[in-house]
Structure 1
């Protein structure tokens, strides 16, 4: 039995420790945002965050994440209240087919947690491991900039209210 912390919830999973995290997320935990794209860590459709670092969940064995914090797109917000990255990707209409978008959002989330105001070059570098075959890279770039602004507003708002 493996204990996982996924999106802030503890889960006990009865799976071979060599099982790819992607399969556990999708099959056992029914978290279907991360997608199986290539199975080789070359497309990024399966990207999730492990302790705030983007990883290809198709290559990451279950044993490697026990005791660590795993976050998927489902952990960024809800349908009723999407998180800043999710809202930005929606507002910029970043998805065409949408297959790559969960991985793109997780990579963007990781970048923005480390760099609140990245340049175009920094965004491109951070997003490079993930592929978008539909050609929406410019919308994705705009979405990351928008998410940075949204996250800044969400941080500043409580600080201003506390000053009152």
Structure 2
């Protein structure tokens, strides 16, 4: 027994001691903190992208630029200190950061595969008004196939770039 008649449970104490790390947090808490900070960093990245505006060649811009440039710069300037603080907190607590590094080529290939699947799904739809000549449907299938070929061309460019890169890495 301990103070005030509370019974000390040795198995809980051992579990607590075993799970406690340098940060004073257990593994799950460290992971939760790191994942949450990573999520916040992603949202800050999104804010930066919104401030930079939609790419000029975007077919479907997401946002309307309604913030004057001097205000956008003021907002941009407040983002790095937030990121620095996130890193500082993790460093101060000795919580290791996830140093994930998904290869850019994999991200691009995944997106291109998703685009191809999406176009394939469009190809399966019936296009045009029911009972009307199938010209619209054939035209849509042709357009979709053209887009798929363009995406395949981009995939070939990625493959060629990666082959060139592996040649450079092997020589280096």
Same fold (TM over 0.5): no
Rg larger in structure: 2
Higher relative contact order (CA 8 A, sep 6+): 1
Pick the structure with more helix per residue. Answer: 2
TM-score normalised to structure 2 length: 0.28
